[in-house]
Structure 1
Amino acid sequence: MSTFQRARHWLQAHPLALDAALAAAVLACVVVASFTDPHGPHGPEWFTRVPHVSSLVLTSIGGLALVFRRRAPMVVLGATGLVATVELVTGDPRAPVAMCAVVALYTVAASTDRPTTWRVGLFTMTVLTAAAMLSGPLPWYAQENIGIFGWTGMAAAAGDAVRSRRAFVDAMRERAERAERTREEEARRRVAEERLRIARDLHDVVAHHIALVNVQAGVAAHVMDRRPDQAKEALAHVREASRSALNELRATVGLLRQSGDPEAPTEPAPGLDRLDELADTFRHAGLPVAVLRSPEAGGAGPLGGEEPGAARLPAAADLAAYRIIQEALTNVRKHAGPGAAAEVSVIQVGTRLEVTVLDNGTGPGGAPDHGEPTGSGEGGGHGLLGMRERVSALGGSCTAGPRYGGGFRVHAILPVTAGAHPAPAPAGGGA
């Protein structure tokens, strides 16, 4: 840092010292001008006249008052204006004490608002100019009198311009800081939403596959000694479920990778095209699942297979519908009790996709119970709450609760207006 920059920072940190230096400079200029005759035969003549002692005293008072110009600008303007008026009325030869009032007027204009600047500036210009024109040996149209009018007007205008520029710079800085804060808040909000979405996917994947692994492992342990073939089949289902869980976990966690990381996931997110595969995993675990899907809902009809002219759903709605069915069937398998069966229906009505999962279970204790709250989601697990949050994020609705006569019902409505278009018909036809 150069010497000039260090001095500048020091003066900014000590404004009173800067004002004292300015006051000393103004006082020196006024004193030198007091000894100068501007009307000499050959132009201005330096040190050819001697001002009165009273003029030097008034000059000293005006210069000393400028030291406190930023602490009390209006008081300093009043003091310098008073001594300048006294000097204009009594001084002969006249000393330019009015320059102290000019500096004080600039300070007032730079530190107040525009209406105050107009009022104070006009009052100061009027008083000083009138005192100069109506008193003293010079005629009213003398250049010294006109100069007082011009200097006071320029001081007020310059102070107002400086104040306006400072206000503009402060506003721009505040706007930039606010924009930066807004960008940071938006980035944090998006990160939080993405973390919540990934957490929901992880919950759905882990809850579904671990429930299946637990059931199949229990079956294998139960029939290991008496029916080893059935135990091997159950263990095969355990291995398949665990492999599927690892693949989906790898794909979900892979979303957190950076763009340059290796082994980025290439498998698309699951959707309703894998609904039959999802139902088969629960059927292998001992839960009968009936699937009904309308041709407009995208994918297969009641008998399976791709329907010609079916509409492809938007990716977000497709994934949400799959995860809702997965979570609902997982809850049925865990909480509906032995002998329960589930029905899944996916129907598109206009621009809405309706997903319904029903079961006839009575729960472990003989009463309908899915182990999770049916209301707001407080005080229980996170599965139903995660369903509602998924649907709410897409602008839909989700209800879940016991059925009349026994069992449980999950019903979700998803908007599917964006991105839907007819899928091409397969060459070989459906099943």
Structure 2
Amino acid sequence: MELPMVWRQWLARHDRIRDALPAVPLIVIATAATAVGKNDWHEPRWDEVVWMALSCVPLAFRSRWPLGVAVFTLAGDLTLMAVASHIAPTPAASLVALYTLAVHGSRRTAWSVGVAAGVAITGVYAATQAESLVGGASLLRFDFVLAATALGRAVRSRRESLAAARERVEHAERMQEEEARRRVTQERVRIARDLHDVVAHHITLVNAQAGVAHHLMRANPDQAYEALAHIQDNSRAALDELRATVGLLRQPGDAPGSRAPIPRLADLDTLVDGCRASGLSVRVTRTGTPSPLTPATELTAYRIIQEALTNSHKHAAGSEAALVLDYGPHTLRVTVTDDGRPGPPKGAGTGHGLVGMRERATAIGGTVTAGPLPGRGFEVVAELPLSLAPTSVSNPS
């Protein structure tokens, strides 16, 4: 560690020594001043040196009581000026005290005391030295006092500016940390949502097809064999999607090619065929004029349809579902209904699926509503924008 740094740290731990340091050169200068004659040097006038030293003693407490020290040192210097009028001493201790008051006190107090001290010092000097109040020597002492006060205010302003800049930097760092935590949370939610969609859909289909295979194993081995083939296909698809999703966590960055192909509405037929193979009859209807969709909208629509069909197969007591894609001028309306009748569901859910649908739709500026139909069935309706606003999230996956 460098010596100046060690010295500053040591002074920061010893306030009284730090405050008293200016007294040392002041006493040395006063001693030399009293030893200077017109033509030669002589022994210092020790009574005046002692008086100067006594006037500097309060400086040891100038940072703790700046106003009291300023008043005390001013009184001592004015007394010294009156007693030692033959040498016209400079009120050096008062200048240090006034500087400290300007640094630690308020602006009004600093300037009020500073102007009053300047007038008092100028008046005493003019009276003891038979000078004019507006003479050069008198005004010089008034200027010294104002300069000490102005220097103290400038130092205080600089410190406040540095403190404000430091606070802005710390605030910016805190905001960056909060933004980083927010992004991490969003990424965790995104990954959890993707894993839920992949696992819930494929495992539901595998479970249904396994039940079909078990039921038909003795009665109809050919259909049972077909169900086992569907199980193999769905389990392979689930593993591929899981591998792609988890693989994103191992990527060092978001470089080109680091992401797996994003599911789109063009893959809807494969999704519907898988549901049909598991025993859920799905009827697909498209209305309106299909328009180009952003990748985010296509992915969101695909995942919502996937989750809705999974819920229809897993929780509803019915065996039919209807999917309607309605292309409007500005929005794509996705409606998924089933014919589930009141009764025990096929499985218990956690509610994460519906929450994930709403999160996906909200991320691109859309909405999702879901609820039971009158009498029977369940309906999921998603309103998704065909194009995203500039501030929207471009890729919610």
TM-score normalised according to structure 2 size: 0.90
Aligned partner of 1:349 in structure 2 is 328
The offset of 1:92, in angstroms, is: 3.0
The offset of 1:77, in angstroms, is: 0.3
- Per-residue CA deviation, residues 338-385 of structure 1 (Å, 9 max, x unaligned), is x521000111222111111011111543xx89855xxxxxxx421111
Aligned partner of 1:28 in structure 2 is 28
User: Does the 8 Å contact 1:59/1:97 carry over to 2?
Assistant: no
Aligned partner of 2:228 in structure 1 is 235
Pairing of 1:16-95 with structure 2 (within 5 A): 16-37=16-37, 40=38, 46-47=41-42, 50=45, 53=47, 55-94=48-87
The offset of 1:416, in angstroms, is: 2.1
User: Does the 8 Å contact 1:87/1:94 carry over to 2?
Assistant: no
The offset of 1:211, in angstroms, is: 0.3
The offset of 1:126, in angstroms, is: 1.2
Normalized per residue, which structure has more helix? 2
Quick one: which amino acid aligns to residue 163 of structure 1? R
Q: Cα–Cα, structure 1 residues 213 and 265, in superposed 2: closer, same or farther, change >3 Å?
A: farther
- Rounded to whole Å, the distance in 2 between the matches of 1:363 and 1:207 is 23
Of the structure 1 ranges 91-100 and 107-116, higher mean CA displacement relative to structure 2 is found in 91-100
- Rounded to whole Å, the distance in 2 between the matches of 1:253 and 1:263 is 17
Aligned partner of 2:149 in structure 1 is 156
- Rounded to whole Å, the distance in 2 between the matches of 1:265 and 1:217 is 34
Q: Cα–Cα, structure 1 residues 189 and 4, in superposed 2: closer, same or farther, change >3 Å?
A: closer
Report whether the alignment pairs 1:414 with 2:384: yes
Q: Cα–Cα, structure 1 residues 267 and 71, in superposed 2: closer, same or farther, change >3 Å?
A: closer
Structural RMSD (CA) = 2.6
- Rounded to whole Å, the distance in 1 between the matches of 2:230 and 2:258 is 24
Q: Cα–Cα, structure 1 residues 10 and 89, in superposed 2: closer, same or farther, change >3 Å?
A: same
Aligned partner of 1:279 in structure 2 is 272
Give secondary structure in 1 for the equivalent of 2:284. strand
Report whether the alignment pairs 1:178 with 2:171: yes
- Per-residue CA deviation, residues 242-264 of structure 1 (Å, 9 max, x unaligned), is 01111111222222232479996
Aligned partner of 2:395 in structure 1 is none
User: Does the 8 Å contact 1:331/1:370 carry over to 2?
Assistant: no
Identity %: 44
User: Does the 8 Å contact 2:122/2:133 carry over to 1?
Assistant: no
- Per-residue CA deviation, residues 153-175 of structure 1 (Å, 9 max, x unaligned), is 21111111111111111111111
Give secondary structure in 1 for the equivalent of 2:274. helix
Q: Which segments of 5 or more consecutive residues in structure 2 lack a partner in the other structure? A: 390-397
- Rounded to whole Å, the distance in 2 between the matches of 1:22 and 1:165 is 21
The offset of 1:265, in angstroms, is: 5.1
Quick one: which amino acid aligns to residue 209 of structure 1? H
The offset of 1:85, in angstroms, is: 1.5
Q: 1:244 aligns with which of 237, 255, 263?
A: 237
- Rounded to whole Å, the distance in 2 between the matches of 1:258 and 1:113 is 57
Give secondary structure in 2 for the equivalent of 1:96. coil
Aligned partner of 1:376 in structure 2 is none
Quick one: which amino acid aligns to residue 358 of structure 2? R
- Per-residue CA deviation, residues 96-141 of structure 1 (Å, 9 max, x unaligned), is 2511000101111111233332222211111111121133455556
Q: 2:360 aligns with which of 390, 404, 409?
A: 390
Q: 1:405 aligns with which of 361, 375, 382?
A: 375
The offset of 1:72, in angstroms, is: 0.7
Q: Cα–Cα, structure 1 residues 140 and 123, in superposed 2: closer, same or farther, change >3 Å?
A: closer
Q: 2:139 aligns with which of 146, 150, 159?
A: 146
Q: Cα–Cα, structure 1 residues 217 and 239, in superposed 2: closer, same or farther, change >3 Å?
A: same
User: Does the 8 Å contact 1:317/1:394 carry over to 2?
Assistant: yes
- Rounded to whole Å, the distance in 2 between the matches of 1:333 and 1:7 is 76
User: Does the 8 Å contact 1:290/1:344 carry over to 2?
Assistant: yes
Q: How many residues align?
A: 390
Q: Cα–Cα, structure 1 residues 139 and 332, in superposed 2: closer, same or farther, change >3 Å?
A: closer
Aligned partner of 2:11 in structure 1 is 11
Q: Cα–Cα, structure 1 residues 166 and 117, in superposed 2: closer, same or farther, change >3 Å?
A: same
The offset of 1:4, in angstroms, is: 4.1
Pairing of 1:358-377 with structure 2 (within 5 A): 358-365=337-344, 371=348
Give secondary structure in 1 for the equivalent of 2:319. coil
- Rounded to whole Å, the distance in 2 between the matches of 1:213 and 1:140 is 104
The offset of 1:267, in angstroms, is: 3.7
Quick one: which amino acid aligns to residue 325 of structure 1? I
The offset of 1:49, in angstroms, is: 7.0
Report whether the alignment pairs 1:324 with 2:294: no
- Rounded to whole Å, the distance in 2 between the matches of 1:335 and 1:140 is 100
TM-score normalised according to structure 1 size: 0.84
Quick one: which amino acid aligns to residue 181 of structure 2? R
Aligned partner of 2:97 in structure 1 is 104
Quick one: which amino acid aligns to residue 330 of structure 1? T
Q: Which segments of 5 or more consecutive residues in structure 1 lack a partner in the other structure? A: 298-310, 373-379, 420-431
Quick one: which amino acid aligns to residue 355 of structure 1? V
User: Does the 8 Å contact 1:371/1:381 carry over to 2?
Assistant: no
Q: Cα–Cα, structure 1 residues 49 and 188, in superposed 2: closer, same or farther, change >3 Å?
A: closer
- Rounded to whole Å, the distance in 1 between the matches of 2:243 and 2:18 is 67
- Rounded to whole Å, the distance in 1 between the matches of 2:85 and 2:373 is 108
User: Does the 8 Å contact 2:333/2:383 carry over to 1?
Assistant: yes
Aligned partner of 1:428 in structure 2 is none
